[in-house]
Amino acid sequence: MLWYKSWLETRWRFLIGFAVLAIMACGTIYDYLAVQKLLPLAPAIEPTGELGRRLKEAVEIEREFRGFVWLQWFRQNLTQTGTLFAVLLGSGGLLSRSSGGALFTLSLPVTRRDLLTTRAAVGLTEFFALALVPSLLIPLLAPSIGQTYSIVDALIHALCIFLGGSVFFSLAFLLSTAFDDLWRPLVVACGIGLVLAVVETAAGSAGRVGLFHVMSGESYFRSGAIPWIGMLVATALSAGMLYASTVNIARRDF
Amino acid sequence: MSEPLVVEAVDLRKQYDGTHALRGLSFAVPAGSICGFLGRNGAGKTTTIKVLLGMTRASSGQARVFGLASDDANAGVEIRRRTGFVSDEKDLYDYMTVADIIRFTASFYPRWRADLEQHYIRRFELPLYRVVKALSRGMRTRVAVLLALCRGAELLVLDEPTSGLDPAAAEDVLQTIVSHVAAEQATVFFSTHQIAEVDQIADRVVIIDSGRAVVSGALDDVRARFRRVQLVFEGEAPDVTAAAFRSPGIERIDRRGRVLTVLSSAGVEAVVEEARSLNPVSVDVVPVTLKEIFLESVKVEN
């Protein structure tokens, strides 16, 4: 029944995230109709500088539906919004007074490790559903605008988002074992995410080993190469932080 | 033959951020007893309970419940499986309904008493489909008590179970606990600063002050140990201090006009013997209330 408690504590964050991402996924598909009309105007753009180069590259990628979906949905919307909901699902005073019932929970005949493991499992399952289900809407709804999208591509990109995003989930989870409120883990984890995004962008091609690069699945989109190493590193980082969370909560007094 | 000990604390010490919450606390609670844990606010009662249930680790010393070390994670699970607990703040999940939290709690206890659950739901007239957050303080306490009593627990640890309740509700909760213990033969360890509650339902008492047990034992023994010896003199009572008595356990001496009052915590025979040497016109031995014992033990001026 610990899973039920964890579900009750996180369900609104999950359901809101699910609704937001599902609407955004649908929006992405039907946006393509408008983009198709604008694309013939694109050759007239003669950009200069790094920003111009990127714009031109984006236009070229978006000429194909597969490229449009990757750029708009997997690289931008799902990566950014998914990161935010990963942090939200990981935050929240796991055994703190602010969540209510901390002493009642601690009086149950379960170890603190069991409590945290269940909470992490429920949160990660919810995050997996957030990464997967809206992404599967793309191949499902694409025929409605006369396009197709590979289910395998959707699954692989969703996996990249899930494993990369689980690092942010675990970071927020770890911070929640140190802080007793919802907001500090949320703000600190989002702050770290923002700094990481800025550093990866500023690093240019060196940023291709970064976490957001893994989440976007760019190597798979461009060359069909699944970023196994990045995914493994993200999984290891995530597991390390979850383990640190159990150690931290085990030594705390309540 | 003496009863086995259900709770045993030996020289418990706990320091938080430079504050000494427990300073060598030692006491024992035998099986089948109702032990009142009396102390002022901030005396260390809640910290002690948290240490016993493995929620907080003692800095040093030993706490054992059912003979198991409470600071061991696995032993702690076993202790909590056999213990019903009501926290001071009646800490429950605000977002669950009463029915939800009962179902949730029952799932952790193989010996959950469904018959008692139904009995207490009816007796307390609990609104099963109302969320805990919307319950009154009294109703919340009743839910917390139900959740503790239905666990099939051998030990009930109750941290100020009646705090914040009106007298009628407090009496109802106390009577529920007493009748439960009588029927189920559980051991009860309850903290309070209501002396009347200890007087009413306990057969043992531990008085804690500044993190130390200052009085501990069977309530009848404690009452028998504490006695006031009243000496009346023809003229002004002599100006004597505790040091003038060789008898142990002289807690306080009051001198008012012709009357000298000696409070002893170690029996009175030797005190009376010594007092007669002061040539009083009368010597009376008067029993002492638990309130007086408490106030004297925690050094508060009555």
Q: Is the predicted pLDDT of residue A94 greater than 80, yes or no?
A: no
Between the ranges A120-129, A175-184, B11-20, where is the mean pLDDT highest? Answer: A120-129
A74 within 8 A of A25, measured Cβ to Cβ:
no
Average pLDDT for B220-240: 88
- Domain of B178, CATH number, reads 3.40.50.300
**Do B214 and B260 fall into the same domain?**
no
Instruction: Determine the pLDDT at residue B41.
Output: 87
CB contact under 8 A, A254 and B77: no
Residue B302: which pLDDT band, with cuts at 50, 70 and 90? very low
Range of the domain at B241: 226-297
Tell which of B187, B222, B257 closes a domain: B222
Residue B180, domain member (yes or no): yes
CB contact under 8 A, A112 and B80: no
Tell which of B171, B195, B222 closes a domain: B222
Q: Is the predicted pLDDT of residue B45 greater than 50, yes or no?
A: yes
pLDDT per position as a tens digit, A139-154: 999 999 999 999 999 9
Average pLDDT for A26-38: 89
pLDDT per position as a tens digit, A33-64: 888 888 777 766 666 777 777 777 777 888 88
Instruction: Determine the pLDDT at residue B30.
Output: 95
Partner residue facing B91 (CB), from A9, A101, A250 = A101
Average pLDDT for A162-187: 92
pLDDT per position as a tens digit, B18-28: 889 999 999 99
Instruction: Determine the pLDDT at residue A100.
Output: 64
Q: Is the predicted pLDDT of residue A196 greater than 70, yes or no?
A: yes
Q: Is the predicted pLDDT of residue A11 greater than 80, yes or no?
A: yes
Instruction: Determine the pLDDT at residue A99.
Output: 53
Residue A181 makes CB contacts below 8 A (sequence gap 6+) with A93, A96, A98
A100, A106, A107, A109 alpha-carbon torsion, rounded to 10°: 130
Partner residue facing B77 (CB), from A104, A111, A254 = A111
A178, A181, A185, A190 alpha-carbon torsion, rounded to 10°: -170
Average pLDDT for B49-71: 93
Residue B302, domain member (yes or no): no
**Do B141 and B244 fall into the same domain?**
no
**Do B168 and B260 fall into the same domain?**
no
DSSP state of B42: T
What token pair was written down for B198? Answer: 């200890």
**Any long-range contacts for A68-73 (C-beta under 8 Å, 24+ apart)?**
A68/A32, A68/A35, A69/A28, A69/A29, A69/A32, A69/A138, A69/A149, A70/A157, A70/A216, A70/A217, A70/A221, A72/A28, A72/A31, A73/A24, A73/A25, A73/A28, A73/A135, A73/A138
Query: Is the model's pTM score more than 0.90?
Result: no
Q: Is the predicted pLDDT of residue A95 greater than 70, yes or no?
A: no
Tell which of B197, B222, B247 closes a domain: B222
Mean pLDDT (chain A) is 89
The distance of A114 to chain B (nearest Cα, Å) reads 11
Domain tally for chain B?
A: 2
Q: Is the predicted pLDDT of residue B67 greater than 70, yes or no?
A: yes
**Do B9 and B152 fall into the same domain?**
yes
- Domain of B265, CATH number, reads 3.30.70
Give the ipTM of the model, two decimals please: 0.85
Q: Is the predicted pLDDT of residue B88 greater than 80, yes or no?
A: yes
Q: Is the predicted pLDDT of residue A200 greater than 90, yes or no?
A: no
Partner residue facing B57 (CB), from A104, A107, A253 = A253
**Do B179 and B255 fall into the same domain?**
no
Residues of chain B positioned with their CB less than 8 A from the CB of A106:
53-55
Q: Is the predicted pLDDT of residue A128 greater than 90, yes or no?
A: yes
Residue spans per domain, chain A: 2-251
**Do B122 and B262 fall into the same domain?**
no
Pairing mode of beta strands B187-192, B34-39: parallel
| Exposed / middle / buried, residue B155 (Cβ in 10 Å: 0-12, 13-18, 19+) | buried
pLDDT per position as a tens digit, B190-218: 998 888 889 889 999 999 998 999 889 99
Q: Is the predicted pLDDT of residue B301 greater than 50, yes or no?
A: no
Average pLDDT for A117-125: 95
